[in-house]
């Protein structure tokens, strides 16, 4: 097996080549578009344009990241018989509405796809009822999924179109504490009863190497008040006095060892046993499919096709499973539609393809129900890196609307942290300040990171400018792939800045 350094260099080299090829392809696509426009004025030009369009959309011969594992996968397939045993999955629906029942009140469908007209009081007011179309150059640059022959989506959206930034508050604790001290964010802390200012970072090693997937407990006397699991870097993040009425933490424990805090917020502990090697990845996608997501859902789906396929091929010796899940709101045709973890990536892509934006009506959605199902309703593997990407544009309901939502959310997030499930939000257009606060808090509490879609691509409604420090704007799919690979220790590469189309 190749060493970590060899593997990292190989993947980063391939990624850099991919970025160069994409830039060249966009420039070529622009020149071809100009030529086609001229030739289209003649009969001969019309046929030439058709050929150019067809050629431009052909699947590339060599996808990135996947190249390094293709030969190994082929060899492995020839050494073992095909598994013909039927798979039994725990798929299901929560809150399914009777199809014969009347549509939920609170909006009128504009075009039969669930875009409602009564959003005047919502941060999403003014959104277009039809998804924006990307430039022809962006469409031409689409990377089709290897081995997938289905229709892409309704608007022929392209992977590598949406743009995003990433910010990990766990690496910027001082900045996070300053943000929580702002009057507006103090209001969020009080209304949601969620205070993450009392953070303790623990690093666990075997004396030399970081230990992965080790339970670490925060104690108040003999009582455990928070539990986390170490990530690939051996770090766990623990929180005391979250609601303002909790007990004060005074120690941390790993196995049989207990270390007093004595006012410290960073602790390093040497474990008796070496860290567990990363051998598996459980990758989950939880996606808001209400009507307000219609401005960019098709593009998000295209990005996720690419993420799922490429991450699934990135690790040479890692067993990868994927689960895709969708949610709307109470009263819609479903509240949560969930699918079990699968090793068959094409099944997951097919499930993504079938989704459309519909329903919702008001601003908050059933985020709390979807997150609870994601954490507690699936069989996550104990030994796996566990990543839960949640793609959304609105917050969960508040206690004024649905009793005990904040309490249940805190319980769910603490359970995720205890199981080592990293919540990684992907904030879409329409996210407001309170939603950003919630998403970043959940990410921090579970050792995740915050991804936010930006306006650079020009697609969808307006995106809130995240209240973060200096960051790099990337293509969304490249950002998500990089993050997933970093959490697995496959490689830790620098962020590749987004480069706008040639004509901008």
Tell me: pLDDT of 211 over 60.
Answer: yes
Find the mean pLDDT for residues 270-297.
81
H helical segments located in 282-389: 297-314, 345-353, 367-376
pLDDT value of position 219: 96
pLDDT band, very low/low/confident/very high, at 42 (cuts 50, 70, 90): very low
Structure tokens at 101: 């029942």
Give the pLDDT score at 170.
97
Between 500 and 321, residue with greater pLDDT: 321
Tens of pLDDT, residues 351-392: 888 877 665 666 678 899 999 999 999 999 999 999 999 999
Contact 221, 245 (CB under 8 A): no
pLDDT in tens, 104-155: 443 323 333 233 333 333 333 333 323 333 333 333 222 333 333 333 344 5
Measure Cα distances from 303 to 94, 131, 279, 353, 373 in Å.
Answer: 26, 15, 25, 12, 24
Q: For position 316, what pLDDT does the model report?
A: 63
pLDDT tens, residue by residue, 223-265: 999 999 999 999 999 999 999 877 889 999 999 899 999 999 9
CA distances from 423 to 34, 256, 262, 280, 283 (A): 45, 28, 30, 17, 11
CATH level 2 (architecture), domain 92-167+278-488 = 3-Layer(aba) Sandwich (3.40)
**The Cα angle at residue 396 between residues 89 and 289, in degrees rounded to 5:** 50
In sequence order, the 6+-apart residues with CB closer than 8 A to the CB of 118 are 106, 107, 108, 361
Residue predicted with more confidence, 399 or 25: 399
Residues 52, 32: Cα–Cα separation, whole Å:
7
**SS3 letters for 132-175?**
CCCCHHHHHCCCCCCCCCCCCCCCCCCCCCCEEEEECHHHCHHH
Q: What percent of the chain has pLDDT over 70?
A: 66
pLDDT at site 362: 62
Q: Which residue has the tokens 């455990």?
A: 224
More confident site: 498 or 3: 498
The token pair at 503 is 């004509």
Least confident of 222-226, 287-291, 478-482: 287-291
- CA-CA distances (angstroms) from residue 206 to 227, 236, 269, 356? 20, 15, 8, 48
Phi, psi of 325, deg, nearest 5:
-140, 150
Provide CB contacts within 8 A for 453, sequence distance 6+: 162, 163, 164, 296, 426, 427, 428, 429, 460, 463, 476
The pLDDT score that the predictor gives to residue 98 is 64
319-327 and 336-338 as β-strands: parallel, antiparallel, unpaired?
Answer: antiparallel
Average pLDDT value for residue range 7-18: 53
Checking if the pLDDT of 420 tops 80, the result is yes
Using the predicted structure, report yes or no on whether residue 317 has a pLDDT greater than 80: no
Helix 297-314 to helix 67-79 angle (10° resolution) is 60
Tokens 């020009």 sit on residue: 458
What's the chain's average pLDDT? 75
Q: Which pLDDT score, from 0 to 100, does residue 355 have?
A: 75
Residue that has been written with the tokens 């593009």 in this structure: 299
- The predicted pLDDT at position 411 comes to 95
The pTM score is: 0.76
Whole-number Å distance between alpha carbons of 404 and 70: 49
CB of 302 within 8 A of CB of 473?
no
pLDDT for position 459: 83
Kindly report, residue by residue over 431-448, the tens digit of the pLDDT: 999 999 999 999 999 999
pLDDT of residue 305: 81
Range of weakest confidence among 16-25, 118-127, 209-218, 448-457? 118-127
Q: Domain 194-270 falls in which CATH fold? A: Immunoglobulin-like (2.60.40)
Residue that has been written with the tokens 């307006």 in this structure: 462
Confidence of residue 63 (pLDDT cuts 50, 70, 90): very low
How far is the C-alpha of 481 from the C-alpha of 469, rounded, in Å?
22
Closest CA to 6 of 499, 494, 491: 491
Q: How confident is the model at residue 62 (pLDDT cuts 50, 70, 90)?
A: very low
Two structure tokens written together for 420:
């080592």
456 or 139, higher pLDDT? 456
Tokens found for residue 482: 């990089």
CA atoms within 13 A on the CB side of 427: 29
Query: Residue 311: its pLDDT value, please?
Result: 85
Distance CA 369, CA 215 (A): 26
Q: Work out the number of other CB atoms within 10 angstroms of the CB of residue 347.
A: 15
């Amino acid at each position: 097996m190749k060493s970590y350094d060899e593997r990292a260099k190989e993947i980063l080299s391939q990624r850099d080549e991919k970025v160069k090829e994409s830039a060249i392809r966009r420039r070529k696509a622009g020149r071809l578009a100009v030529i086609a426009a001229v030739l289209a004025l003649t009969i001969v030009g019309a046929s030439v344009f058709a050929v150019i369009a067809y050629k431009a959309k052909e699947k590339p011969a060599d996808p990135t990241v996947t190249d390094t594992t293709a030969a190994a996968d082929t060899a492995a397939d020839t050494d073992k018989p095909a598994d013909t045993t039927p798979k039994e999955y725990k798929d299901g629906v929560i809150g399914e509405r009777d199809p014969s029942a009347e549509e939920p009140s609170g909006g009128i469908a504009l075009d039969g796809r669930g875009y409602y007209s009564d959003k005047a009081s919502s941060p999403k007011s003014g959104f277009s009822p039809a998804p924006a179309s990307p430039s022809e150059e962006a469409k031409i640059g689409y990377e089709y999924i290897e081995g997938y022959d289905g229709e892409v989506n309704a608007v022929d959206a392209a992977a590598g179109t949406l743009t995003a930034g990433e910010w990990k508050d766990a690496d910027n604790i001082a900045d996070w504490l300053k943000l929580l001290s702002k009057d507006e964010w103090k209001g969020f802390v009080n209304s949601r009863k969620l205070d993450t200012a009392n953070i303790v970072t623990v690093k666990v090693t075997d004396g030399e190497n970081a230990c992965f997937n080790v339970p670490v407990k925060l104690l108040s006397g003999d009582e455990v008040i928070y539990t986390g699991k170490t990530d690939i870097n051996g770090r766990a993040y623990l929180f005391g006095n979250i609601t303002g009425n909790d007990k004060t933490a005074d120690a941390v424990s790993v196995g049989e060892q207990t270390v007093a805090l004595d006012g410290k917020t960073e602790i390093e502990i040497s474990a008796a046993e070496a860290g567990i090697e990363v051998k598996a990845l459980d990758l989950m996608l939880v996606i808001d499919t209400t009507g307000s997501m219609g401005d960019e859902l098709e593009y998000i789906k295209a990005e996720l096709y690419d993420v799922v396929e490429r991450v699934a091929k990135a690790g040479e010796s890692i067993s990868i499973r994927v689960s895709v899940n969708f949610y709307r709101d109470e009263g819609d045709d479903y509240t949560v539609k969930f699918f079990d973890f699968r090793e068959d990536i094409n099944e997951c892509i097919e499930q993504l393809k079938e989704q459309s934006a519909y329903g919702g009506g008001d601003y908050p959605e059933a985020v709390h129900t979807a997150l609870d199902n994601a954490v507690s309703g699936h069989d996550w593997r104990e030994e796996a890196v566990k990543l839960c990407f949640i793609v959304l544009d609105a917050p969960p309901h508040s206690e004024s609307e649905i009793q005990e939502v904040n309490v249940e959310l805190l319980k769910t997030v603490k359970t995720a942290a205890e199981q080592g499930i990293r919540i990684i939000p992907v904030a879409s257009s329409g996210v407001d300040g309170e939603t950003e606060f919630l998403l970043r808090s959940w990410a921090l509490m579970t050792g995740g990171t915050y991804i936010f879609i930006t306006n650079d691509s020009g697609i969808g409604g307006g995106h809130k400018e995240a209240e973060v420090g200096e960051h790099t704007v990337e293509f969304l799919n490249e950002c998500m792939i990089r993050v997933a690979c970093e959490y697995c220790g496959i490689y830790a590469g620098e962020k590749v800045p987004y480069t706008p189309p040639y004509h901008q």
